[in-house]
């Protein structure tokens, strides 16, 4: 038995050494021993390369606005580990996390002795979330974000009311395959027999894989651009506006979101479509105002997040090619003619050459840094992939950030206009360290 929260957390993190072990056998074994919590909760399953967290947040916000008690399971966490298991946006307490660890630990030890081997960190946390939402603090509905892929992801033991695949991109190619079809095939593993599937996937070859799987298991497919649409998109200073229409219910015009980035329109449209399916087929009740309010209130940290308006500082969790492309497009649209300084680091298992080539095109100054994390890249290795004439290396990210802020403040006081933009990007793990430090510096 663990006596303290820190002991429990050390044990959970210690399981990272087991890496990623695809397959659902260990999860199924634990679910049986816990008396099948996954069968006792209503769930929604959200997979995809990018946009899972934002889509989940839009949907959670709509459900909350309509008075529902909503559990969420997300990864990675942004500042505190407990964020991964939350209710109505509030992370569970340290005491509850300790209790959950003490519930799961004996099972993990027993499982270790079988031919299946011990559960991974992600399997342990998934089991904790399912047990918590079903037995400890029962929710009206729980939204589960896929960890990696879909077919063999720990979360795939759930029996959802509906599934969502946000987007397909070339990420985790060493595990999921290196074509859009292969990756779509893994993601489509969350499509269940007769369970509606909503998607905003763009690539025709990936769409085809999802369509084929949906037909095969008799799941109704709702594709953005076909069964539902987001049109008349307007970029606003603090977000965006769009019109929503679907074959199911009446159109909703002039919906507004406060999250920045064109791609957030797709994520918001997925959430609205999900609310229509919940209302049409599962007797969930929403009125138009609740949908409007929910969308507008939704906030997810580290996604084109404006940390400071003067000087302009943005943090963005882009950590793959599609994410960097979306970031570059948004910067071009919002900050045409400004000097863009990009402070970048990333994990070494990403397709870094293409990401950095895009940053070379986008940045006026490109500063490479590094941080302390098991799979983190070295600043000099990242810089070696760049052909930018103004590239710099800052091995100590804290010192580098201080220098950049001083430089930005000096320029601002000399020119009296805010012509410099600082963008910090490349890894959500990195941003979770940067954001609190940055807020401290800006005080």
| pTM for the structure as a whole | 0.90
- Kindly report the number of other CB atoms within 10 A of residue 257's CB atom: 26
The yes-or-no verdict on residue 416 having pLDDT over 70 is no
Contact yes or no for 232/242 (Cβ under 8 A)? yes
CA distance 243 to 229: 8
The 10s digit of each residue's pLDDT in 112-159 is 999 999 999 999 999 999 999 999 999 999 999 999 878 899 999 999
pLDDT grade for 178, boundaries at 50, 70 and 90: low
Query: Using CA atoms, how far apart are residues 48 and 69, in angstroms rounded to an integer?
Result: 25
CA separation for the pair 410, 398 (Å, rounded): 19
Query: What is the average per-residue pLDDT within 255-279?
Result: 95
Q: Are 420 and 341 in contact (CB under 8 A)?
A: yes
Mean pLDDT over all residues of the chain? 93
**According to the model, what pLDDT value does residue 318 have?**
92
pLDDT at res. 176? 63
Q: What is the pLDDT of residue 351?
A: 82
Instruction: With cut-offs at 50, 70 and 90, classify the pLDDT of residue 419.
Output: confident
- The answer, yes or no, to whether residue 25 has pLDDT greater than 80, is yes
CB 127 within 8 A of CB 144: no
**Rounded CA gap, 356 and 353, in Å?**
5
Buried-state track 214-250, b at ≥16 Cβ within 10 A, e below 16:
beeeebebbbbeebbbbeeeeeeeebbebebbbeebe
At 234 the pLDDT is 94
Is 258's pLDDT higher than 60? yes
Supply angle C-alpha 355, 358, 361, rounded to 5.
155
* Residue among 206, 207, 199 nearest 164 (CA): 199
For residues 3-21, give the mean pLDDT: 89
Q: What is the 3-state secondary structure (H, E, C) of 236-259?
A: ECCEEEEEEEECCCCCEEEEEECC
What is residue 58's predicted lDDT score, i.e. its pLDDT? 98
Measured in whole angstroms, how far is the alpha carbon of residue 290 from the centre of its chain? 23
Q: Is the pLDDT of residue 324 over 60?
A: yes
CB 11 within 8 A of CB 124: no
For residue 81, what are the contacts with CB-CB under 8 A and spacing of at least 6?
Answer: 9, 12, 97
Cis bond before residue 109 (omega within 30° of 0): no
For residue 261, the model assigns a pLDDT of 81
CA distance 260 to 317: 13
Rounded CA separation 158/165 (Å)? 15
Domains detected in the chain: 5-297 (3.40.1190.10), 305-442 (3.90.190.20)
Q: Is the pLDDT higher at 178 or at 46?
A: 46
> For residue 22, what pLDDT band results from cuts at 50, 70 and 90?
confident
* Tens of pLDDT, residues 372-408: 988 899 999 999 999 999 999 999 999 999 999 998 8
Please give the pLDDT value at position 408: 86
């Amino acid at each position: 038995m663990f006596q303290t929260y820190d002991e429990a957390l050390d044990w959970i993190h210690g399981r990272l050494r087991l890496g990623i072990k695809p397959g659902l056998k260990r999860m199924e074994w634990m679910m049986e021993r816990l008396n099948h919590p996954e069968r006792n909760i209503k769930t929604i399953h959200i997979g995809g390369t990018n946009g899972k967290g934002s889509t989940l947040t839009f949907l959670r916000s709509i459900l909350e606005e309509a008075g529902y008690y909503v559990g969420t399971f997300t990864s990675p966490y942004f500042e505190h580990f407990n964020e991964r298991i939350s209710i109505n946006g509030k992370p569970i307490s340290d005491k509850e996390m300790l209790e959950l660890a003490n519930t799961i630990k004996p099972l993990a030890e027993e499982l270790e002795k079988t031919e299946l081997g011990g559960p991974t960190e992600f399997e342990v946390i998934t089991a904790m979330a399912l047990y918590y939402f079903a037995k400890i603090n029962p929710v009206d509905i729980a939204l589960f974000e896929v960890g990696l892929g879909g077919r063999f992801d720990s979360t795939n033991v759930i029996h959802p009311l509906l599934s969502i695949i946000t987007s397909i991109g070339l990420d985790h190619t060493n595990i999921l395959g290196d074509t859009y079809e292969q990756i779509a095939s893994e993601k489509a593993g969350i499509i269940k027999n007769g369970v509606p599937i909503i998607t905003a996937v763009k690539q025709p070859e990936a769409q085809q894989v999802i369509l084929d799987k949906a037909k095969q298991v008799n799941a109704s497919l709702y594709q953005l651009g076909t069964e539902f649409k987001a049109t008349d998109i307007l970029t606003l200073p603090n977000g965006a506006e769009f019109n929503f229409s679907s074959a199911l219910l009446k159109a909703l015009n002039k919906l507004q979101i406060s999250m920045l980035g064109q791609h957030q329109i797709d994520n918001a449209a997925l959430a609205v479509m999900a609310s229509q399916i919940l209302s049409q087929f599962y007797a969930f009740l929403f009125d138009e105002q609740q949908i409007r309010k929910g969308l507008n209130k939704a906030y997810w940290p580290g996604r084109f997040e404006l940390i400071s308006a003067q000087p302009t500082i943005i943090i963005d969790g882009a950590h793959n090619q599609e994410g960097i492309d979306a970031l570059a497009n948004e910067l071009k649209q919002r900050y045409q003619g400004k000097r863009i300084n990009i402070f970048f680091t990333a994990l070494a298992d990403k397709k870094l050459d293409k990401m950095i080539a895009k940053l070379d095109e986008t940045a006026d100054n490109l500063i490479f840094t590094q941080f302390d994390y098991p799979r983190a890249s070295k600043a000099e290795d990242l810089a070696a992939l760049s052909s930018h004439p103004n590239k710099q290396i800052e091995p100590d990210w804290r010192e580098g950030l201080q220098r950049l802020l001083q430089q930005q403040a000096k320029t601002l006081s000399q020119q009296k206009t805010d012509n410099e933009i600082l963008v910090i990007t490349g890894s959500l793990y990195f941003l979770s360290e940067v954001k609190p430090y940055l807020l401290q510096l800006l005080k």
